[in-house]
Amino acid sequence: MTCRRNARWSPRSASPLLLAAALALGACPKEQAATQDSGSQEAPAPASQYRGATAAFVKSLCELKVYTYVVSDEGAAVVYEELSFDENGTFEAQTSIRIGEEPFACRESGSWAMDDKRADDRDTSALTIEVTETDCAGRSAPNSFRVRARIGEQDIELSHI
């Protein structure tokens, strides 16, 4: 192997070498790190559309459930055995129709809204419940009813308005 002593360094001769080194080392290490980290980060929870006492009420409304709320419907009792709410304004209910002593299990779902889009306080609010889907015999959708919801220690109590 021979060395040329008279060889001069020039930027033109160094360019291919620098380009190869930059590609080998990764030209954009910051961008690579950002894409690797972004996959492991959780998306932030969406901000609530509610504020103050209303936000506290809605949070409790969505964390707790209603148990055994009875609505009469033309001679039959419609019993919401378990009713849960979601902040997006929807609800789902495991329901039963009771004619006499025998219950018939079914499901209902739909939407809910607070009067004036705000709670009375942290624990109570008037709600309109709109049933948009039902598989309960003798029930049809859409239908709606109004209730007063009160947040309890372990559940939500509904009363007729």
Q: Residue by residue, what is the 3-state secondary structure of 52-68?
A: HHHHHHHHHHHHCEEEE
pLDDT digits (tens, 9 = 90+) for 24-76: 555 544 444 444 555 556 656 556 677 788 899 999 999 999 999 998 777 78
Residues 3-26 as b or e (16 or more Cβ within 10 Å = b): eeeeeeeeeeeeeeeeeeeeeeee
pTM, 2 dp: 0.66
Average pLDDT, the chain: 79
pLDDT over 90 at 111, yes or no: yes
Distance CA 84, CA 37 (A): 36
Let me know the angle formed at the C-alpha of 106 by 100 and 107, rounded to the nearest 5 degrees.
135
Among the listed ranges 34-43, 88-97, 109-118, which one has the minimum average pLDDT value?
34-43
Tell me what pLDDT residue 85 has: 96
Which residue(s) pair with 25 in the sheet?
none
Ordered by start, the domain boundaries in the chain are 12-39, 52-160
